[in-house]
Amino acid sequence: MSGQFEPARSGAGQAASALAPQDAVERALAAAKCDECIVIADEGSSANLRWAGNSLTTNGVSRSRQLTVIAIRRSGDEARVGVVSRAGLRDDQLAGVVAEAEHAAAQASPAEDVQPLLSRDGASSAGHVGRAGAAWDSPPSATEIGVFADFARDLGGAFEVAAGGGRKLYGFAEHQLTSSYVGTSSGLRLRNDQPTGRLELNAKSQADLTRSAWAGLGTADFSDVDVAGLEAGLAERLGWAERSVDLPAGRYETLLPPSALADLMIYMYWSAGAKDALDGRTVFSKPGSGTRVGDRLASLPLALRSDPAAPGLQCAPFVIAHASSRDSSVFDNGLSRGRTEWIADGRLAALTQTRHSARLSDLPVTPAIDNLVMAVPGATGSIADLVSRTSRGLLLTCLWYIREVDPQTLLLTGLTRDGVYLVENGEVTGAVNNFRFNESPVSMLSRITEAGDTVPTLPREWSDYFTRAAMPPVRVEGFNMSSVSQAS
Amino acid sequence: MERNQGASEIDPEFTAYPLRELADAALATARRLGASHADFRAERIRGQQIGLSDGNLETQFDSDDLGLAVRVIVDGTWGFASAVDLTTAAAARAAADAVDVARVAAAINSEPIELAGEPPHGEVTWLSAYQVDPFGVSVADKIALLGDWSGRLLAADGVSHVDASLLQVKECKFYTDGATTALQQRVRLHPELTAVAVGADGRFETMRTLAPPVGRGYEYLTGTGWDFDTELAEIPELLAAKLAAPSVQAGRYDLVIDPSNLFLTIHESIGHATELDRALGYEAAYAGTSFATFDKLGSLQYGSPIMHVTGDRTAEHGLATIGYDDEGVAGQSWDLIAGGVLSGYQLDRRIARLTGLGRSNGCAFADSPGHMPIQRMANVSLQPAADGPSTRDLIAGVTDGIYIVGDKSWSIDMQRYNFQFTGQRFFRIKNGQLAGQLRDVAYQATTTDFWNAMEAIGGPQTYVLGGAFNCGKGQPGQVAPVSHGCPSVVMRGIRILNTVEEAGA
């Protein structure tokens, strides 16, 4: 190594990406020679901490910058699309990326999901500016490691408390901020700033790690995290587990906390694409033809909905599609996302749509939205209230390793994790072994007999992809615990 | 060391960057600011995804990820930072950021980080074994090929829909820690076609190609390493038979498991269970731990005495095959299970040092310049029996059983005990003969019960290198490609579920 580096000597470096993301979008649009063009600039920043056994293990900060160019060649009713997305692009490479996308479009066969691009008037009822109120012209937002300054101090304190109580803490904290700029040759200029924060805290008994409890939450900025309170809650649950009870496989009355319900509902939501339903290949296909929109799914008059403006769960109020796929269409970039009820009054009310699938299915244009909320009219109380009204049943903490077994019924399998408790006569009386479950969230809806208040929750299984959820705790009849798992 | 002598060369656009100057800037800055260890990576990862729905183009997406990363140890604490500009200023700034991160993190670190030694390898270059760079083939040709294949399936009776996809990756890495400076490139492909049949009563079934993802070039799609013509010709009939097949009766059966299914069971129940970072608890809150704890090394009867499982980062065309890992450790091959007994683990330099196991076996990997390397899976493979029987001979030895082909659904618990798998197709075995397909089959077992029930292992002629592009681990989540080779096997008395009954229908 030379060991002689001085910052002022950086002439050897390439011309850095000096262009602001907005300017990169404008310059790419100006360079495009194809019939239509969409350009998306994403500026991301993230910081994370990870710990195990009351000690930090890994950490990091990162920045990302991605420019996606979608070139469209029209010919009559047909359109050919080429998409090129590049990270770490130098300014002098920008025109080359546009040319690559145009070249890909020239080679493509006609796009299945062809639609006209949205114009400024028809774009987004929520306006052209993302929820953070940042204007198109202002610089991208960013996060850095300092977001954890207070949290890291509190976590250090929790490590000491836990160690003193014979507990080991494990977990992960992550904060991300992404500013996305969408520009089109049809005149759209839309921006969204998306903060995403999450904390997972897991406590295990120090001696043998056999008792385990978990808590998780989503947060916009970590200012609202009560680490000591979460640690105390986990200590209480490890206390519940000092008495253990072995139970066999079988169907049990089961109390699902909000996190577990969220993971099951999110998978169902991901499986609610209108195109696959129309093709006859999902649980939402109607035998013969068509979809099951209108069918009763739940016995309670519950609602499952998404809303970009949901308090604390705000997300992009317009479509940002980097590529077309089964459930998204680049032609829909900028399309308004508004409050949508997927299940209303216990009946299937809508499927996730592109404009292409909406036309095929003759159903409203209801694009997927990045949050999910279940609400049950008249339901009140916490998970503790549901426990107090239970004569005998299981109380779960969260679910893990959820995978689809059979798309026809949407049968899912997975494990219980970090605390299954036996409830008898309104009280937790001990910890039970873990189980492998086999359950369909669709069929389960009809066996939800009681619910509590809807509260924000972190979906434990899917939080790498989906963090914005609010769910009630629910009571499910006959939840199918297929076999015992020895895991603890 | 495998070294392809063909037309391949390291991407000239990547090597045109001033990689050594960037590294010098980063490492010098890190040391000046107090780092006791520093390593530097620059990467370019190109990806291309093409998807067709019923022969129509649905997805075409080209990605190109470029960046640099600096990892440091300061006063016994890790620090990591990355940047997207490949400039000396950005490299130096990332090094300073990494040192800052380590200082913030030091307050909550109570385990000093130390690394196992690795012989210096100097300046080395390595390329994976492939013939045709897929990024040199026109998109039009790829769409035409997938369209032709889709058309063959759609033209067959009973096929309602066809999905076709092709993932391609070209990964260029420059790594240096001062002692080893490695410039590497590897290429991988994952082609997949799925045919869907929808019956008049609304029931539907699917049948997917078994062609595994591989570390090969575009030649894989044109006759080298897989016979797509034959496989595509067989799918419609297999699919029709599956749709018409009877539902399985739940119970215990003897199983003959094809490599196209068994590779994934190996991945979940052996691959992850023998990662020593997991077994020691470092993944306890997320991916989980392992029943194969460190105190059981050398004594745990993992499976029957015929079981021999290796870890390697050297198999030709393997997806986890590398020249040097992301800590500068050369690729190796070693035993994980010998004579059915747990005999080794997968290691990175930190875990090797912590446990006194000596040298790392080279399992550090980061999936992008934006992520810190973590311990990731080697190619973990079940060795065939020398002079062992064919799959047909294995089936002939089963009186009342099921032959399982192709992977589909998978799930396993956080200590790698209890698992459940389905497959692409299931054939009833009666008196040593195949007797038609079954539907709605899943198998469920506990890892050690399952592998101790392994009675027979097929010969080298049954061995197939399967694999996956998308193995997930860590927080923040990272994905890694990995291969698993295995022969056909016979398992006695495994629990079979009927998935329709499980759904309560």
| R_g of chain B computed on alpha carbons | 24
Q: How many CB atoms lie within 10 A of CB B469?
A: 15
How far is Cα A365 from Cα B340, in angstroms, rounded to an integer?
Answer: 57
What's residue A121's pLDDT?
65
Find out whether B335 and B310 touch, Cβ atoms under 8 Å. yes
- Decide: helix, strand or coil at residue B114: coil
Please determine, for residue B8, whether its predicted confidence score (pLDDT) is greater than 70: no
pTM for this one?
A: 0.94
Task: Name the minimum distance, in Å, from the CA of A169 to any CA of chain B.
Answer: 9
How far is Cα B341 from Cα B298, in angstroms, rounded to an integer?
Answer: 6
Which residues does chain B have within 8 Å of residue A61's beta carbon, measured at their own beta carbons?
Answer: 80-82, 97, 101
Tell if the CB–CB gap between B288 and A81 is shorter than 8 Å: no
Reported as half-sphere exposure (CB side, CA atoms, 13 A), residue B90 has a value of 25
Find out whether B493 and B453 touch, Cβ atoms under 8 Å. yes
What's residue B420's pLDDT?
98
Tell if the CB–CB gap between B62 and A83 is shorter than 8 Å: yes
Residue whose pair of structure tokens reads 């120090």 in the numeric block: A206
A–B CB contacts, 8 A cutoff, strictly below: 328
Please determine, for residue B20, whether its predicted confidence score (pLDDT) is greater than 80: yes
What's residue A92's pLDDT?
86
Query: Tell me, what's the ipTM?
Result: 0.94
Of all helices (H) and strands (E), which one includes residue B230? helix B228-244
What's residue A67's pLDDT?
95
When CB atoms are compared, the residue of B66, B101, B477 closest to A61 is: B101
Find out whether B436 and B243 touch, Cβ atoms under 8 Å. no
Contact A295/B at CB under 8 A: no
| R_g of chain A computed on alpha carbons | 25
What's residue A14's pLDDT?
33
Low-confidence ranges of chain A (pLDDT < 50): 1-16, 123-133
- CA distances A92 to A15, A24, A101, A104, Å, are 8, 11, 16, 20
How far is Cα A329 from Cα A368, in angstroms, rounded to an integer?
Answer: 11
Which residues does chain A have within 8 Å of residue B499's beta carbon, measured at their own beta carbons?
Answer: 405-406, 411, 438
Tell if the CB–CB gap between B59 and A324 is shorter than 8 Å: yes
What's residue A122's pLDDT?
53
In the numeric block, which tokens belong to residue B142?
């790829």
| Exposure string for B120-131, b = 16+ CB within 10 A, e = fewer | eeeebebbbbbb
* Residues of chain B above pLDDT 70, percent: 98
B38: Cβ contacts below 8 Å, ≥ 6 apart: B26, B27, B30, B31, B70, B71, B72, B73, B95, B98, B177, B178
Portion 123-182 of A in contact with B at CB < 8 A: 145-146, 148-149, 152-153, 155-156, 159, 168, 170-172, 174
Chain A nearest-CA residue for B13: A93
Tell if the CB–CB gap between B64 and A84 is shorter than 8 Å: yes
Of B98-102, B223-227, B330-334, the least confident: B98-102
Task: Name the minimum distance, in Å, from the CA of B86 to any CA of chain A.
Answer: 7
Portion 313-342 of B in contact with A at CB < 8 A: none
Phi, psi dihedrals of residue B6, rounded to the nearest 5°: -80, -150
Q: HEC states along B417-478?
A: CEEEEEEEEEEEEECCEEEEEEECEEEEEEHHHHHHCEEEECCHHHCEEEEEEEEEECCCCE
Task: Name the minimum distance, in Å, from the CA of B176 to any CA of chain A.
Answer: 10
Tell if the CB–CB gap between A401 and B60 is shorter than 8 Å: no
Closest CA to B457 of B382, B398, B402, B399: B382
Each residue's pLDDT tens digit, B52-86: 999 999 999 999 999 999 999 999 999 999 998 89
When CB atoms are compared, the residue of B83, B374, B415 closest to A486 is: B415
How far is Cα B102 from Cα B125, in angstroms, rounded to an integer?
Answer: 31
| Exposure string for B404-438, b = 16+ CB within 10 A, e = fewer | bbbbbbbbbbbbbbbbbbbbbbbbbbeeeeeeebb
Residue whose pair of structure tokens reads 């774009």 in the numeric block: A123
Which residues does chain B have within 8 Å of residue A415's beta carbon, measured at their own beta carbons?
Answer: 411, 413-414, 418
Query: For the purposes of burial, counting CB atoms within 10 Å of the CB of A226, is it exposed (0-12), middle (13-18) or buried (19 or more)?
Result: exposed
What's residue B85's pLDDT?
87
Chain B nearest-CA residue for A461: B286
How far is Cα A355 from Cα A329, in angstroms, rounded to an integer?
Answer: 8
In the numeric block, which tokens belong to residue B271?
């691959």
Of residues B44 and B505, more confidence is placed in: B44
Tell if the CB–CB gap between B499 and A438 is shorter than 8 Å: yes
What's residue A59's pLDDT?
81
Four-CA torsion B257, B259, B261, B267, nearest 10 degrees: 120
